[in-house]
């Protein structure tokens, strides 16, 4: 009788563990997807709104990676994204902007809770802001610490050189800077930060990579 009870208890615990894993694993994947989407909005956007007609310029809104945002007019709040819908909740105005991202993710269009038209246009750093020498740092594993590893020079002709001996090419599309290392058969995919003086990303091995302009 005691053996049966213990056996049943072990089986029950195994079933509970399996069900828990089945629930948590999809949720973990979902959370990862949300984070990846959220970062696509990070940066400073030229902001415009009007009660009717064409929205008029009204400063800038900066979306931060932690889900907060600030408007240059003094307001602040939180934001979240689901698919192409971006929801901005202004904490000090008790107002909500419901926006839709364009296909190239350079424009947001929508309305606030009063029905005013609202538009955001992503501020894109100029391509020539990348040209120059950057202090280069990267980890040597996906979760490792980032350490300075010399410097990388971006040339105006689209070539790039690392002091460690590698050479390659680079191109910029909006905030995304792609470095293709010809001798290492590797690619670094980087995102320029707001001031265009820092870029962060990952290489083909998923190692963390950071560049700081000198």
Nearest to 40 by CA among 106, 120, 89: 106
> For position 30, what pLDDT does the model report?
37
> For position 193, what pLDDT does the model report?
84
> For position 105, what pLDDT does the model report?
84
Nearest to 213 by CA among 185, 187, 193, 189: 193
> For position 94, what pLDDT does the model report?
86
In which residue ranges of the chain is pLDDT below 70? Answer: 1-39, 126-128, 194
CB count, 10 Å around CB of 144?
Answer: 11
> For position 104, what pLDDT does the model report?
83
**Structural domains of the chain, with CATH:** 42-122 (2.40.128.10), 127-213 (2.40.128.10)
């Amino acid at each position: 009788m005691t053996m049966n009870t213990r056996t049943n208890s072990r089986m029950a615990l195994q079933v509970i563990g399996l069900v828990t894993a089945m629930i948590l694993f999809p949720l973990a994947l979902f959370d990862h997807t949300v984070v990846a989407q959220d970062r696509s909005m990070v940066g400073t956007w030229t902001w415009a709104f009007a009660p009717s007609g064409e929205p008029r310029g009204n400063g800038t809104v900066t979306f931060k990676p932690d889900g907060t945002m600030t408007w240059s007019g003094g307001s602040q709040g939180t934001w979240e994204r689901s698919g192409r819908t971006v929801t901005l909740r202004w904490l000090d105005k008790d107002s909500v902007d419901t926006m839709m991202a364009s296909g190239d993710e350079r424009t947001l269009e929508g309305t606030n809770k009063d029905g005013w038209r609202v538009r955001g246009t992503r501020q894109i750093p100029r391509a020539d802001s990348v040209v120059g020498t950057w202090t280069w740092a990267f980890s040597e594993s996906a979760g490792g610490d980032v350490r300075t590893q010399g410097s990388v020079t971006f040339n105006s002709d689209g070539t790039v050189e690392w002091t460690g001996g590698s050479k390659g090419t680079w191109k910029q599309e909006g905030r995304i800077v792609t470095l293709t290392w010809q001798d290492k058969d590797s690619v670094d995919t980087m995102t320029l930060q707001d001031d265009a003086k820092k870029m962060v990303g990952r290489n083909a091995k998923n190692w963390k990579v950071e560049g700081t302009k000198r």
